[in-house]
Structure 1
Amino acid sequence: MTSTVNRSDVPEYPMERAAGCPFDPPPALRPLQEEAPLAKVRLWDGSTPWLVTRYAEQRALLGDSRVSADITRPGYPSSAPVRPGGPRIGFILMDDPEHARLRRMVASPFTIKRTEALRPAVQRIVDDRIDAMLAGPKPADLVRDFALPVPSLVICELLGVPYSDHDFFQDNSKMLISLAVPPDERMAAHGRLEAYLDDLVGAKLAEPGDDLLSRLAERVEAGEITRAEAAQMGVLLLLAGHETTANMIALGTLALLRHPEQLAVLRDTDDPKQVASAVDELLRYLNITHNGRRRVALEDIEIGGEVIRAGDGLVVPNDIGNRDPAVFDDPDRLDIDRDARSHVAFGFGVHQCLGQGLARMELQVVYGTLYRRIPGLRLATDIEQIPFKHDGAVYGVHELPVTW
Structure 2
Amino acid sequence: MEHIVTTLPNTRTPGCPFDPPKELLDAREHGPISRYTFPDGHAGWLVTGYDLVRAVLADPRFSSRRELMRHHPLVDFGDIEVPPAPPGEFLLMDEPQHGRYRKPLVGKFTVRRMRQLTERVEQVTAEHLDAMEAAGPTADLVTAFAKPIPSVIICELLGVPYEDRGRFQENIDKFLGGEVADEELIAAYTATQEYLAELVAAKRANPTDDVLSDLLDSDLTDEELKGMALILLSAGFDTTANMLALGTFALLQNPQQLAALRADPALVDRAVEELLRYLSVAKQFFRVALEDVELDGHTIKAGSMMILSYNTANRDPERFADPHRLDLRRQDGGHLAFGHGIHQCLGQQLARVELRVAFPALLARFPTLRLAVPAEEIALRPETADIYGVKSLPVTWDT
Provide TM-score, normalisation by structure 2. Answer: 0.94
C-alpha displacement at 1:315, in angstroms? 0.4
Alignment partner, residue 398 of structure 1: 391
SS, match of residue 19 in structure 2: coil
C-alpha displacement at 1:225, in angstroms? 1.5
C-alpha displacement at 1:175, in angstroms? 1.8
SS, match of residue 150 in structure 2: helix
Q: 1:179 to 1:43 in 2, by over 3 A?
A: farther
Q: 1:302 to 1:229 in 2, by over 3 A?
A: same
Mind listing any 5+ residue stretches in structure 2 that lack a counterpart?
none
Conserved 8 A contact 2:67-2:85: no
Q: State how far apart, in whole Å, the 2-side matches of 1:13 and 1:333 are.
A: 24
User: CA offsets, 1:116-154, max 9 Å, x none?
Assistant: 110111111111111111111331111111110100011
| AA matched with 1:12 | T
Q: State how far apart, in whole Å, the 2-side matches of 1:397 and 1:348 are.
A: 25
Alignment partner, residue 326 of structure 1: 318
Of stretches 181-190 and 338-347 in structure 1, the one that deviates more from structure 2 is 181-190
C-alpha displacement at 1:76, in angstroms? 5.7
How many residue pairs are counted as aligned between the two chains? Answer: 392
C-alpha displacement at 1:42, in angstroms? 2.9
Conserved 8 A contact 2:138-2:396: yes
Alignment partner, residue 173 of structure 2: 174
Q: State how far apart, in whole Å, the 2-side matches of 1:364 and 1:43 are.
A: 39
Alignment partner, residue 24 of structure 1: 19
C-alpha displacement at 1:50, in angstroms? 0.4
Conserved 8 A contact 1:110-1:355: yes
Q: 1:31 to 1:10 in 2, by over 3 A?
A: closer
Alignment partner, residue 98 of structure 1: 97
Q: State how far apart, in whole Å, the 2-side matches of 1:234 and 1:120 are.
A: 24
- Correspondence list, 1:361-400, <5 A: 361-390=353-382, 391-400=384-393
Q: 1:22 to 1:270 in 2, by over 3 A?
A: closer
Q: State how far apart, in whole Å, the 1-side matches of 2:391 and 2:62 are.
A: 34
Q: 1:369 to 1:332 in 2, by over 3 A?
A: same
- Correspondence list, 1:75-86, <5 A: 75=70, 77=72, 81=77, 84-85=82-83
Q: State how far apart, in whole Å, the 2-side matches of 1:86 and 1:171 are.
A: 26
Conserved 8 A contact 1:125-1:150: yes
| AA matched with 1:51 | L
SS, match of residue 357 in structure 2: helix
C-alpha displacement at 1:278, in angstroms? 0.2
C-alpha displacement at 1:44, in angstroms? 3.9
Q: State how far apart, in whole Å, the 1-side matches of 2:281 and 2:44 are.
A: 22
Provide TM-score, normalisation by structure 1. Answer: 0.92
Conserved 8 A contact 2:38-2:71: no
Alignment partner, residue 337 of structure 2: 345
C-alpha displacement at 1:77, in angstroms? 4.7
Aligned counterpart in structure 2 of residue 357 of structure 1, from 343, 346, 349: 349
Q: State how far apart, in whole Å, the 2-side matches of 1:87 and 1:349 are.
A: 20
Mind listing any 5+ residue stretches in structure 1 that lack a counterpart?
none
Aligned counterpart in structure 2 of residue 295 of structure 1, from 270, 287, 306: 287
Confirm or deny that 1:279 pairs with 2:277.
no
Aligned counterpart in structure 2 of residue 236 of structure 1, from 194, 210, 231: 231
Q: State how far apart, in whole Å, the 1-side matches of 2:9 and 2:43 are.
A: 12
User: CA offsets, 1:35-67, max 9 Å, x none?
Assistant: 222111233433332001110111111100101
Q: 1:178 to 1:130 in 2, by over 3 A?
A: closer
C-alpha displacement at 1:83, in angstroms? 6.2
Q: State how far apart, in whole Å, the 1-side matches of 2:142 and 2:25 are.
A: 31
Q: State how far apart, in whole Å, the 1-side matches of 2:74 and 2:5 are.
A: 17
SS, match of residue 392 in structure 1: coil
- Correspondence list, 1:230-269, <5 A: 230-269=225-264
| AA matched with 1:284 | R
Conserved 8 A contact 1:208-1:214: yes
C-alpha displacement at 1:169, in angstroms? 1.1
Alignment partner, residue 207 of structure 2: 208
Q: State how far apart, in whole Å, the 1-side matches of 2:377 and 2:350 are.
A: 32
Conserved 8 A contact 2:85-2:93: no
Q: State how far apart, in whole Å, the 2-side matches of 1:44 and 1:123 are.
A: 46
Conserved 8 A contact 2:8-2:73: no
Alignment partner, residue 189 of structure 1: 188
Aligned counterpart in structure 2 of residue 40 of structure 1, from 22, 28, 35: 35
Conserved 8 A contact 2:8-2:23: no
SS, match of residue 72 in structure 1: helix
Q: State how far apart, in whole Å, the 1-side matches of 2:5 and 2:244 are.
A: 35
